[in-house]
Amino acid sequence: MHVLLVEPDRILADTYRQALQVANHAVTVVPTAQSAISAADKATPELVILELQLVEHSGIEFLYEFRSYPDWQTVPVIIHSQVPPGEFKDSQQILRDQLGVTDYLYKPHTSLRQLLRSVDQQAATPA
Amino acid sequence: MGSDDQLPPILSEELLLSVAEELKLPLLQIAREAERGEAVHPALRTIRATADSALRLLDSYALGVRLALEPAELAAESISVSSVLYDTGQQLDALAKQYGVTLELNVAGRFGPVLAHRQGLQAALVSLGAALVEALPAQGGEQLTLQLATHRSRYGIVAGLYADNRLLSAEALRHGRELQRRSRQPLLNLSHTSGAGIFVADTLLTAMRLRLHTSRHHGRYGLGTVLQSSQQIQLV
């Protein structure tokens, strides 16, 4: 599976990239929303793993922009963020139904195994 | 020299909160990199478990400060204590293994749902549990068992952590609270460290208008909190 990993921290990005590659996924790593749009334009990813706290444009801004393109409307997105999901408790439905977020993982409580399990679930789910 | 209100906010809650948030990143880096290397180097499990535990402590501290500063965030919901204790056990499992502490879950009995802020209650019990897991071996006991239990008391439904350790007393807790800002080791009879996990639990519970109490259950001594039944859902 081709995964677009939007992760601003270089050390974490390296760790997650290597773990995903060992699990036989091809990974493109980018640190910002703008570079994520450019990367998706070059090769449409089959899955996006997204941090919400990014420099300049937020992950939520990225999601609205990403979903505005017909080719990317069905690409599953896993939010994997330092932002606790409780901060979005009133917008869960928007995240799920309008922005196509298939899973929300709170990064400080998510092991690599849990992240990979979520990725595998997406890989097993027909588009 | 300027007036007091021009001084920098040394040790303000906001500054400590941002330091806690900042420290979460290197701990997360350590924990996940250790996890990645575990398959090849099993010794990295200890590093992962302790880094994850420290990460959770900081996260719980940050949550406690936020809930205290912004009580509007405190939306209570109808929750199952058994489910919170089960998740607490899951989160403590790796650390307990490293410290040679056996975790037991005792959620027998149906007590119905309680009204609480789930994330806050969970964070308080995990902080408390991690502090006790680290403390039990340091107390020199033979039997290192920590029981996560719920039971009914005359005041409500208790969720707590229990051990065969009479040092878990109301006196030790009261004395610890008094010494918290003045002593390097305020819970002298309980913990060889600052016991921060116990105070983080105390802060979280206080922010949720609950209290950390000492408690007895099946002949064991423990720390926990009393929750009130939720009338929102009545299971048959």
Class of domain A2-124: alpha beta
**What percent of chain A lies above the pLDDT cut of 70?**
98
Indicate the number of domains in chain B: 1
Give chain B's length.
236
**pLDDT for the residue numbered B83:** 94
Give the residue extent of every domain in chain A. 2-124
**pLDDT for the residue numbered B168:** 79
pLDDT grade for B2, boundaries at 50, 70 and 90: very low
Residue B192 predicted with pLDDT over 80? yes
Bridge partners (DSSP) of residue B35 are none
Instruction: Compute the average pLDDT of residues A12-35.
Output: 96
B70-79, B92-101, B112-121: range with lowest mean pLDDT: B70-79
Give the domain extent around B183. 76-227
Closest alpha carbon within chain B to A106: B59
Each residue of B22-58: pLDDT tens digit? 999 999 999 999 999 998 999 999 999 999 999 999 9
**pTM of the predicted structure, to 2 decimals:** 0.85
CATH number of the domain encompassing residue B174? 3.30.565.10
**pLDDT for the residue numbered B7:** 56
**pLDDT for the residue numbered B1:** 44
Residue B232 counted as domain residue: no
B1-10, B87-96, B136-145: range with lowest mean pLDDT: B1-10
Mean pLDDT of chain A: 93
Instruction: Compute the average pLDDT of residues B79-84.
Output: 93
Residue B166 predicted with pLDDT over 50? yes
Residue B102 counted as domain residue: yes
Distance from CA of B166 to the nearest CA of A (A): 33
Each residue of A42-82: pLDDT tens digit? 988 999 999 999 998 999 999 999 999 999 999 999 999 99
Which residues of chain A lie closer than 8 angstroms to B55, CB-CB? 108
Pick from B21, B23, B36 the residue to mutate for testing the A interface (most A CBs within 10 Å).
Answer: B36
pLDDT grade for B13, boundaries at 50, 70 and 90: confident
Burial of B205 by CB count in 10 Å (0-12 exposed, 13-18 middle, 19+ buried)? Answer: buried
Handedness of CA A67, A71, A76, A77 (dihedral sign): negative
Q: If we measure between CA atoms, which residue out of B26, B209, B56, B28 comes closest to residue B129?
A: B56
Inter-chain residue contact A15 with B55, CB threshold 8 Å: no
Inter-chain residue contact B32 with A15, CB threshold 8 Å: yes
Nearest to A15 among B33, B73, B91 (CB): B33
CA A38/CA B4 separation, integer angstroms: 51
